[in-house]
Structure 1
């Protein structure tokens, strides 16, 4: 249900905190880690987050079956920088050949920019699957029409189709997942949903002026999101919970949600987030959705998956 994210996460804490957080996640059965090398497009920021993650993973000495890894394949410089080269670098940086993991369980392919040969993407992904680098894949920030082409290509050519979509999804941003763009695939079970950026970079848990780089503001609604925080706080209080638990429980209330990706940087934050499961069981999905219905702020935003700065 929970996935720990890598962007601006592992480089925001000291080694002791990284070790404690990763160990706690594994301990409670949530050892699913999103890890990527941020080196292309708007993410060409020389981040060390994946290196630090790999160091901590080796320090813990966890058995490989105790955790799962979700990697990233970027389309920013594709096909000039192909998937095989990207996988070589990503695995090397987290310790392959040095006692670290030699493969991922799954990868996310994104972000979508410009003209992309979708059929070739599907074929190149299959090559990496056949090489044992990962077993499944999903998409991030793809136009709906391109995702349909990928699904069609996989079906016609007998290749592995994308099985999930990592989307901005939460209390205030719901259009891509619940609207006309991706909703039908989730309803029919073609795709699972990985909810990301659910806290809007921390805004929806009270960090109203984040001091770090956060996700794109699709539709230019961030001021509205900041203004909505008092309502989030009031709804959380009415349900005897925290804003973080409310935000995660909302995502989990959607039957399509496979996991919620967040960037906790302390064990205490992670443990607070765990309370979302108890909230969902106590209040129920219907009550949570009814209480938060008025927080859907991007109803009118055209959010078909195209990345926007």
Structure 2
């Protein structure tokens, strides 16, 4: 069953509101679905963008992860954030109609500071006439090397004080860096990270369920935002994706491709699609606040919505039992250190 703090009925039809969960201590209440921006808005035409965004608003799943991809391994100068803002304007959406999650990149930090990144990102979204004003929350991105985590926490607090956003989380940080952030926030009376956006799903579970973040999730100190759930489309049948997808931590992607037929078989045994099984699995973990995915059509979003009925019908325990064999990365990163270049 879904967490008691959620609103709405998970077994309801597609016209009903998507349930909500809190995005960690001090974080906002958000839909259990989040639409990611890594090139999804530039993978479709204007009509399809409007239809998808309108559908998300109608089912109260309008939580959008939007970023300007211009640094490090994501130095793509993508127009996806510009197209997002354009679509907001075309639909005439009010800021109260949607939740907005931004990104703070660490690849050029501290030379490229957080204030400038926030100003640029909000300006780009607003360039087409949308008026985001601020983000609801942000994710502070992954990094290479050893940044000054204490200064990161202080700089994030400066942006909260400036009104850029109200809460924050991290993206695939090493556990030791998260512990440092929590310690600094507690010692200095600053806003602690409320959630972690981690690779999590049927095949990659070690970061969230192992010794890395598991203790914080079980204690309720953090919430999980599950990302890369479908492994770039591999776990929904696109076993040879042509587009750029997330890093293959641990070098297990070939094994993930080999696992897809079993994923499809298990999903079929539940009368569900592979996408529904993948999302339902993530939501079966109590720590999961929402699942971030890159749907690029109303059809895909509607199929994903079916995960709620699957979870309500079958229950978390049965879904986890049926998919236990799919945990491929049990031995990956045994030292607890995340290597974004791996």
> When the two structures are superposed, what TM-score results if normalisation uses the length of structure 2?
0.89
Deviations 1:77-124 (A, max 9, x none): 000000000001100000069442110000000112112000000000
- Cα displacement (A) at 1:285: 0.2
Matched, 1:269 2:300: yes
Matched, 1:109 2:131: no
User: Alpha carbon RMSD of aligned pairs, Å?
Assistant: 1.0
- Cα displacement (A) at 1:143: 0.8
Structure 2 counterpart SS, 1:122: helix
Residue of structure 1 equivalent to 2:236: 205
CA distance in 2, matches of 1:306, 1:164: 19
Matched, 1:294 2:328: no
CA distance in 2, matches of 1:257, 1:156: 27
Which 4+ residue blocks in structure 1 deviate beyond 6 angstroms?
Answer: none
Deviations 1:229-288 (A, max 9, x none): 010011001111000000000000000000000000000000000000000000000000
Matches within 5 A, 1:1-309: 1-95=32-126, 98-302=129-333, 304-309=337-342
Contact 2:196/2:224, CA 8 A, preserved across alignment: yes
Contact 2:138/2:165, CA 8 A, preserved across alignment: yes
CA distance in 1, matches of 2:168, 2:339: 19
CA distance in 2, matches of 1:211, 1:97: 30
Contact 1:192/1:256, CA 8 A, preserved across alignment: yes
Deviations 1:189-245 (A, max 9, x none): 000000000000000000000010000000000000000001001100111100000
CA distance in 2, matches of 1:232, 1:70: 30
CA distance in 1, matches of 2:246, 2:129: 33
CA distance in 1, matches of 2:316, 2:301: 21
CA distance in 2, matches of 1:71, 1:216: 20
- Cα displacement (A) at 1:64: 1.1
**Where does the alignment leave 5 or more consecutive residues of structure 2 unmatched?**
1-31
CA distance in 2, matches of 1:184, 1:29: 31
- Matched residue count: 309
- Cα displacement (A) at 1:304: 3.4
Contact 1:96/1:102, CA 8 A, preserved across alignment: no
| Structure with higher helix content | 1
Deviations 1:135-191 (A, max 9, x none): 000000211111100000000100000000000000000000000000000000000
CA distance in 1, matches of 2:75, 2:197: 20
Classify 1:134/1:227 alpha carbon distance in 2 versus 1 (closer, same or farther; 3 Å): same
**Where does the alignment leave 5 or more consecutive residues of structure 1 unmatched?**
none
Contact 1:4/1:32, CA 8 A, preserved across alignment: yes
- Cα displacement (A) at 1:66: 1.2
> When the two structures are superposed, what TM-score results if normalisation uses the length of structure 1?
0.98
- Which stretch of structure 1 is more off in the superposition, 58-67 or 100-109? 58-67
